[in-house]
Amino acid sequence: MAVYHQTANVERGASRQFTAYVPLSPNTIYWLVNDVPGGNSTVGTVSSTGVYTAPAAVPAMNVVTLKAQSTAYPDKFATATITVTQPVPWVWSTYPTSVTAGPISVSVNGSAFQPGAVASINGVAMPTTYVSTTKVMISGTFSTAGTFPVRVTNTGNGAVTSQPVNITVAAGNPPPTPTPTPTPSPTPTPTPAPTPTPAPGGATTRIDAGRFLEQAAFGPRPAEILSVQQGGLQAWLNTQFALPESPLVLPSPDPSQMAAMRSWWLWLNTHAPDQLRQKVAYALGEIWVVSSNKNNYPQEILPWLKVLSRNAFGNYKDIIREMTVSPSMGKFLDLARSSKPGVGSGANENYPRELMQLFTIGLQKLNMDGSVVLGANGQPVPTYTQEDVKQLALALTGWVYYQNQWENFTADMEPREQNHDTSAKSFLGCNLPAGQTTTQDLDGVVNCLFQHPNLPPFVAVRMIRFLAHSNPSPAYVQRVANVFVNNGSGVRGDMKAVVQAILLDTEARQDTPTPTYGKLREPLLHYINLVRALNGSVTQNNGLPYLFVNMGQSILTTPSVFSWFSPLFRIPQTAIYGPEFQIYSPTEAVLRTNLISDTISGQYNGYITLDLSPFTAVAGDTTQLINAVDQALLYGRMSATMRNTLATAINAMPDNNSRVQTALYLTATSGEYLVMH
């Protein structure tokens, strides 16, 4: 049995038709709301024909379950989830359309405003006076110049925020000295106070649940949105923390086939129950890079993947240590057989350098909020010198493959004392005495890097960019870095606490984006997100990975240790960070769009199965079809302009199949979907 729509938002007092699919005989059913036959005035009522009418007031628990129960078979039923909201407000215009920074008075015109409605400028709630359902007045102080979105929120339980219109705020007096070329400020745009969201302990909105799963997982599956909506974010996190780790194995039947491992990777991340662990491992793997462009065989890659997965909720200190002795990394960056001067080719500096630059502390000294420390000359202060690299390289000499074989990937590397340099070393302000063993020097290196003041903001900035969004405010970075320093129980480097701090932060949870908010989905995330949103599946031996090569994101195969794209890449000619834009140029954009088109139209049906039934069920009704696509991909946030465009295109289609495909294609390739926000 099934109920369509499986999920819906209904404004308080409004009605909506639901349909039950009952492949039973007899097919008689009755309807319940929150298990009350016919419902009641608190949770809403449902007619015998499936018309649900929301209660006049939004209930305290505003997510209700609509159930179609078979009269003949007590164990047969199907449910839908309904979110009861305040009426959706619309903003048409402001008057005036531009103001001068300072005390302002603006009227906001639109429709469906409710008493208690609050207007915001750029996400900052402003003192608002309710005038009528079509007008509210802002009078307050707004002191930043620029062009900003104005929105109106109908507050209260089930609060809903309008789409924005822009207002221009001119600089106030005194006028700034005109500068010939405005140089973009290198500091991230400060993020205004976030919109309050429900406490992470309890139920949440569909938007929040969907957004959360884009950050914490490889995108939501429909059922997961519901479960997060009902149980809340913390409950989902707790479940995920407790799940067993997905097995990471060599491909079969031929374990030497890298192509098979790439296709397995796509399958794993589409289907793994331990989504949070795999997502965090993926993010960590964009910091700690190993690539099959050098480690050509799956067995040379697997140990690296295992360190990432095993320690996703572990301690960063263990990651530093385990990566250093991993045979995967030993091969990729040549620590294997790095020896004291005079033995072999001597101390290899490749890993020691990248260990500092890319994996732990970076090139420039950082403040706890991620900003760069400037020296007396106004320039960034380097974190290390070439001498530090040399000393670190000496400290890390002596590691060879297991049993000192030519290459061996079945166990960690092991120390070989006759290859180890036993002189005293000094680097980054840390000192290792002479005469230490290979392992003792490793401990010294790990401790030194782990205690380095750059490590907390270094990890915070990267993990926020890879999981949540590209332009975190300094305050957000600092909050996460503080948790890295101390998880609340005095433990430094606890990644479980760091991940939780990133995902539950008010800035990650603000459902009303500020202008610099968001993260461009990279090709792999975009694709897996879409497949999961359409409740799809991928075969384990699929022929899809090659499609990502020309999009700049070959699976398990970055071009270098610098990964597919830099976490420090900015949108050209701006100060705005957009790491994923480094691999988003015209060809890559069209290839991605075409892959989505080909996938939706079924060209990869041997590899991919999508469940389009929620859309085909309403294919004939343009509004319902748009609603269904909006709910599935944008959690009900599709803009009015986009809805209109979609409607025009859908209505030009000759049949239901192409109506569904067009609706999905235009939404899945839209800027609103490309940038998770």
Residues 381-440 that bind another protein (CB under 8 A): none
Instruction: Tell me 85's DSSP state.
Output: E
Minimum CB distance to another protein smaller for 41 or for 256? 256
| Window contacting another protein (CB under 8 A); options: 15-23, 163-171, 269-277, 280-288 | 163-171
Residue selected from 61, 90, 649, 656 as contacting another protein according to rule CB under 8 A: 649
Whole-angstrom distance, CA of residue 520 vs CA of residue 313: 25
* Selected binder of another protein within 444, 578, 614, 636 (CB under 8 A): 578
285 contributes a contact to another protein by CB under 8 A: no
Nearer to another protein, 349 or 412 (CB): 349
Check if the beta carbon of residue 526 is closer than 8 Å to that of residue 219. Answer: no
**Binding status of residue 265 toward another protein by CB under 8 A:** no
CB closer to another protein, 180 vs 244: 180
Q: Which residue has tokens 């479960």?
A: 227
- Selected range binding another protein among 31-39, 453-461, 618-626, 635-643, rule: CB under 8 A: 635-643
Minimum Å distance from CB 513 to another protein?
A: 6
Among 293, 404, 410, 605, binds another protein (CB under 8 A): 293
Instruction: Output 59 or 578, the one with its CB closest to another protein.
Output: 578
Calculated CA dihedral for residues 555, 578, 475, 484, nearest 10 degrees: 20
Write the DSSP symbol of residue 257: -
Check residue 202 and report its DSSP letter: S
Pairing verdict, β 77-85 and 7-11:
parallel
Residue 669 lies near another protein (rule: CB under 8 A): yes
Q: How far is the CB of 19 from another protein (least distance, A)?
A: 28
- Nearest approach, Cβ of residue 652 and another protein (Å): 3
CA distances from 433 to 113, 395, 437, 452, 547 (A): 71, 10, 10, 19, 52
- In angstroms, rounded to a whole number, what is the distance separating the alpha carbons of residues 333 and 350? 6
Integer-rounded Cα radius of gyration of the chain: 28
CB of 323 to another protein, least distance (A): 16
CA 349 → CA 150, 346, 367, 405, 423, distances in Å?
A: 54, 9, 27, 22, 17
245 part of the interface to another protein, by CB under 8 A: no
Nearer to another protein, 357 or 440 (CB): 357
Spell out, one character per residue from 330 to 369, where the chain touches another protein: x when CB under 8 A holds, - when not: ----x------x---xx-xxx--xx--xx-----------
Cβ neighbour number for residue 644 with a 10 Å cutoff? 11
Closer CB to another protein, 85 or 582, in the complex = 582
| Residue 385 Cβ vs another protein, minimum distance, rounded to whole Å | 13
Task: Among 25, 48, 173, 181, indicate the residue that binds another protein (CB under 8 A).
Answer: 181
In 3D space, the residue among 642, 641, 640 whose CA is nearest the CA of residue 668 turns out to be 642
Question: Rounded to the nearest whole angstrom, what is the least distance from the CB of residue 48 to another protein in the complex?
Answer: 39
Distance CA 234, CA 56 (A): 30
Smallest separation, CB 341 to another protein (Å):
8
# binding residues, another protein (CB under 8 A): 83
Q: Which stretch binds another protein (CB under 8 A): 52-60, 391-399, 478-486, 514-522?
A: 514-522
Region from 54-62, 276-284, 306-314, 639-647 binding another protein, contact rule CB under 8 A: 639-647
Of 6-14, 152-160, 513-521, 624-632, the window that binds another protein (rule: CB under 8 A) is 513-521
Cβ neighbors of 181 (< 8 A, separation 6 or more) are none
Residue 93 found at the interface with another protein (CB under 8 A): no
b/e for 659-671, b at 16 or more Cβ within 10 A? bbbbbbbbbbbbe
Interface pick for another protein out of 362, 552, 614, 636 (rule CB under 8 A): 552
Judge residue 101's burial from the number of C-beta atoms within 10 Å of its C-beta, 0-12 exposed, 13-18 middle, 19 or more buried.
middle
Q: Give me the sheet containing 29-33, strands edge to edge.
A: 7-11, 77-85, 63-70, 29-33, 36-37
Compute the least distance from the CB of residue 553 to another protein, in Å.
Answer: 9
Q: Does 145 bind another protein (CB under 8 A)?
A: no
Handedness of CA 535, 541, 547, 548 (dihedral sign): positive
**Position 39 contacts another protein (CB under 8 A):** no
C-beta of 46 vs 638, nearer to another protein = 638
The Cα 501–Cα 507 span in angstroms is 10
Nearest residue to 481 via CA among 471, 492, 489, 470: 492
Closer to another protein by Cβ: residue 263 or 669 = 669
The token pair at 279 is 């997502």
Cα(92)–Cα(108) distance, rounded to whole angstroms? Answer: 8
Residue ranges in 454-473 that form contacts with another protein under rule CB under 8 A: 470
Does 192 interact with another protein (rule: CB under 8 A)? no
Q: Given the complex with another protein, which of 316 and 359 has the nearer CB atom?
A: 359
The minimum distance between CB 470 and another protein, in angstroms, equals 7
Residue from the set 598, 606, 620, 623 that interacts with another protein by CB under 8 A:
598
Q: Is omega for the bond preceding 677 within 30 degrees of 0, making it cis?
A: no
C-beta of 132 vs 293, nearer to another protein:
293
